[in-house]
Chains A and B, each alone.
Chain A
Amino acid sequence: MTKRGLCAVVLAVLLVALPAAGQQPYYAGKTIEIIVPFAPGGGSDIDARFFAPFLEKYVPGNPRVLVRNMPGGGSILGANFFAENARADGTQLLVTSGSTMIPYILGVPQVRYDPAKWELIKVNGVGGVLYVSPRTGVRRPEDLARPAERLVYGGISATGLDLVTLLLFEVLGLDVRVVMGFEGRGPARLAFERGETNIDYQTTPAYLSQVVPLVREGKAVPVLSMGFVNEKGVMVRDPSAPDLPSAYEAYQVLFKRKPDGLLRWKAYQSMVAAAFTFQKAMWAPGGTPPEALQALRSAIDRMKLDPQFREQGRQVLEGYEVLRGDTAKAAVLRATRVTLDVKKYITDLLRSKYQVRL
């Protein structure tokens, strides 16, 4: 091609492209579909539906944002669908939860997704609080070693978020009778209130609304928080329950030393990071155009300044910060990559103590 021809082509491209880029934002007239791999009404669904109107408001071009529930296989089905079929043009996003990440980390054979291949838009976390019945005589973490009656815990299934609690029991060396089979954390909490179990955990939002009134009435005693993993990979206190010692501190009180380096501690901390600290993540498929990612991520930054977002988010996000995807991606992916010995420790524990075949 001649030099002049090249110039003409460049000029033509610029003429066509520039006005389009200048006047029309990437998302103008488009519809964004947020895929939630859980049934309506669950935590991830509430999270997605909370973000949807703010994305409409702050993504340039004001796209329509719809939430689409694709439950099945404990979120594996929807995440697989996203991994295999999603349009990589920024119009299909996925929300994942801790229970999407646990099977990925454990290498469950049905999992056909790999978050490392996706682009992270935002992530926000949640904490958990462990509390006991006053009958146990436990007031502080050090009492956990000598409860007045056998500890009984009600869980959903060993391969879900309960795995984190089970690992915590291992770390602290507690002798707990674990009863699996509840439909959810709500019914498990009812069993605690009825006195059928005497040790329970709730995510911090549920703890603050449902359990704090019980604490005031003297029917429950908070012991510790599951902890929060900061961006340096260090466990700190739960920002929403700053008065409670974290599991890290509890270990030190009980055993008079730091848990760092212990295999079971490594397993616990990485699961806390993957399942709690980075619980609600929103992803775009790999290969999504940079301008789309930029529009979505800067919308996250801008909505955080919106007083309405802060007001409504106080309850939904419960004081946990929403992190922009590009800054948090490394930490999130680090949390999903556990070393082989940790993985083996977890699968051995599940097999020997909880009859789980993986």
Chain B
Amino acid sequence: MTEAVRAAVELFVNPSRLGMLAVGSGVGLLIGMLPGMGGIVAAAILLPFMLKLEPAAALAMVTGALAVVHTSDTITSVLIGAPGSAAAVPTMMEGHPMARRGEAARALAAAYLSSLVGGLIGALGLTLSIPIARPLVLSFGSPELFMLTVLGVSFAGSLLGKQPVKGLSAGLLGLLLGTVGPAPAAAEVRFAFGQVYLTDGIDLALVALGLFGVAEVVSLMARGGAVAQRTELGHGWWEGVRDVWRHRWLVLRGALIGMWAGVLPAIGATAGTLMAYGHAVATSRDRSRFGKGDVRGIIAPEAANNAVEAGDLVPTLLFGVPGGAPSAMILGALLAYGILPGPRIVTQHLDLIYTVVWSFALANVFGAGVMFAASPLLARLTSVPFHRIAPPIVLAMVLAAYQETQHFGDLVALVALGVVGYALKVTGWPRGPLLIGFVLSNPLERYYFLTVRLHPDPVDWLLRPGVMVIGLLVVAPFAWSAVRWVRARSQGAAPVARQPAGPATVATAAVLAVFAYAWWESRGFLPDAALMPVSVAAAGTVLTALQLVRELGGYGGPVEEEDELAAQDGGAGRRVRRAAGYLLSLVVYVAATYFLGLRWASALWSLWMLRAVARLGWPGSVAYTAAMVLGLELLASVLGVHLPRGRLGL
């Protein structure tokens, strides 16, 4: 503990370290604001400078950046509905509807404050747990890690929405999407359709950007007007602060979930945040507001996502096993300083560990503080007509997508996932369970096979105390729901209104076709590669077939769009047609990028958007587009961001 105090004092009295910390968090905030860009980009930018500094200052800088990238990615998530990272999806699902109601300031304030507190709890937890973290982490064997992934998947159970069958099928669809690429337990690449691009699987950042970001932006464009549909904007900031205080225990629980998801291998940052969200829903009495802008759905995941980054430092520093790419890059930089992560770091470099921990805490206060103060100002963005801000947002998303693997496939995947995301959105398929399924698909399958292979006798692992405790946590909520369901049933259920089969039925049929095809296709896989996709696809086929039959019979239940305000506007059909047009324009945009390169394609798309849709005058449109392309060049030259080049070499 004395080491911890000394490190803190040294950090605070050393102006160069403090300065580097400020620089790092500044860069982190800026990068985090761009949708789809996060820790990897920030670490890549800072790395060359790191090598020129002394170790403690360098660590302060990069920790500062990583501590706040998830703080500022809240902005686009809440204001535009484009999640800044996959971990920001829950914030987007709850915060964006709030922004549409004119409560952007409240949502942002609540998000930043819980982010700040969550980060501090994470740092405190780290300080306390470093001496015991090693034996603790090692006490989780493959069976326990497998059960943790099961627990994670079960959290999707609280996000199923009004139509549990659709929710379950969506979760299965996510699991299936996650099986694309190499099978973890057998030498087989699945569902790649001969495309080398798909042989590593689909990237998580692309799934978040496409399914949620593109879908939301297109839907906003189709709706027209500003994001916020009410005019009074300034209020709510103080309300957000009070929300956090009212739900202070939720903040604590969210932070603890996030921290442990970061500390333990197998779960990962995004799943930790989603689990915190699921936990918030599961433990709330009144769940009717979730998905429509419930502030509790912001508080828990925001408290978790900064704590995840803190927790992630434990395996990185103590075991040399980084939880994500950013921490892996820090690891590489540490090597160049002769600092070897691993068992010896606690005895040899404890002061550095605490420097990291305190930098993390301080950066959190700084980052969240800045954003918190700025949130009333940022909230005003929601009153600008959306068509006018759409071009730079779309460009930023396309650019971010391309940074994933820097192959053209990234852009195709982005738009394809965007089309799917929009279709699911308007036909009432909840995308929350889908994302959880996707994120946990690979760890679930991997740790299942590791468990049964390392412990061939099922009794041997099923009776481990850790497995039984986690198993109980998995089963308990379902048992509770069953009890409630039986009680509600004995009181007599409300009659279901007949709904004619509509466009939603087409979507259900399409999902059924996907499951059925995957089932048929995966029969040919090696047995250990087939188990997961076959069981997922079989369950999905049965469930969606059931749903289809019900819908055709008129008992499918009402299609509820995730956004209550949408229902007020009568012209839903017209809106969907407009959205389809915009999606088509994105397809053309990407095709144009293939030939003309990103610069020219973006310029043309932006000009069309501003002239034909936003109805800006020629001079305005041209100047705006030119400024945007200039910004693009600046990003490319300053940050070293790569721009897709076209076949024509532009």
Contact = CB atoms under 8 A, between A and B. Distances in A.
B410 to A, nearest CB: 10
A199 to B, nearest CB: 13
Interface string A58-101: 00000000111111111011001100000000000000000000
Contact of B344 (A66, A186, A213): A213
B469 interface: no
Interface residues of B, number: 58
Given A196-B141, A315-B335, A72 B405 contact: yes
Given A72-B200, A152-B454, A183 B406 contact: no
Interface string A37-67: 0011110011001101100000000000011
B258 to A, nearest CB: 21
Contacts of A66: 640
A194 interface: yes
A191 B51 contact: no
B348 to A, nearest CB: 10
Interface string B302-329: 0000000000000000011110111111
A321 to B, nearest CB: 18
A181 B185 contact: yes
Contact of B336 (A50, A76, A81, A190): A50
A190 B325 contact: no
Interface string A218-255: 00000000000000000000000000000000000000
Contact of A70 (B43, B44, B405): B405
Contacts of A356: 187
A136 interface: no
B328 A41 contact: yes
Contacts of B51: 53, 312
B184 interface: yes
A135 to B, nearest CB: 15
B195 to A, nearest CB: 9
A210 B200 contact: no
A2 interface: no
Interface string B576-615: 0000000000000000000000000000000000000000
Contacts of B338: 311-312, 314-315
A180 B454 CA distance: 10
A272 interface: no
A195 B406 CA distance: 40
A182 interface: yes
A197 interface: yes
Interface stretch (B375-383, B445-453, B510-518, B542-550): B445-453
A193 B136 CA distance: 12
Given A180-B185, A354-B187, A41 B200 contact: no
A77 to B, nearest CB: 5
B571 interface: no
Contacts of B335: 46, 205, 315-316
A237 B67 CA distance: 44
A200 to B, nearest CB: 13
Interface string A320-356: 0000000000000000000000000000001000111
Given A193-B138, A209-B320, A209-B341, A77 B200 contact: yes
A110 interface: yes
A310 to B, nearest CB: 12
Contacts of A42: 328
B526 interface: yes
Contacts of A40: 40, 43-44, 325-326, 328-329
A210 B453 contact: no
B509 interface: no
B332 A45 contact: yes
B319 A186 contact: yes
A312 B50 CA distance: 13
Contacts of A194: 138-142
Contact of A77 (B142, B407, B446): B407
A73 B327 contact: no
A68 B640 CA distance: 9
Nearest to B339: A315
Contacts of B188: 357
Contacts of A12: none
A182 B185 CA distance: 8
A312 B332 CA distance: 11
B341 A77 contact: no
B450 A179 contact: yes
A41 to B, nearest CB: 2
Interface string B333-346: 00111101111100
Contacts of A314: 338
Given A181-B446, A191-B142, A356-B187, A68 B406 contact: yes
A298 interface: no
Contacts of A191: 141-142, 450, 454
Given A110-B199, A182-B450, A315-B338, 20 more contacts: A40-B326, A41-B328, A49-B329, A67-B44, A68-B642, A70-B405, A72-B409, A73-B199, A74-B182, A77-B199, A154-B454, A157-B182, A179-B453, A186-B321, A187-B321, A194-B140, A315-B336, A315-B340, A350-B187, A357-B187
Interface of A: 39-42, 45-46, 49-50, 52-53, 66-74, 76-77, 80-81, 110, 152, 154, 157-159, 179-184, 186-187, 189-191, 193-194, 196-197, 205-206, 208-210, 213-214, 311-312, 314-316, 350, 354-357
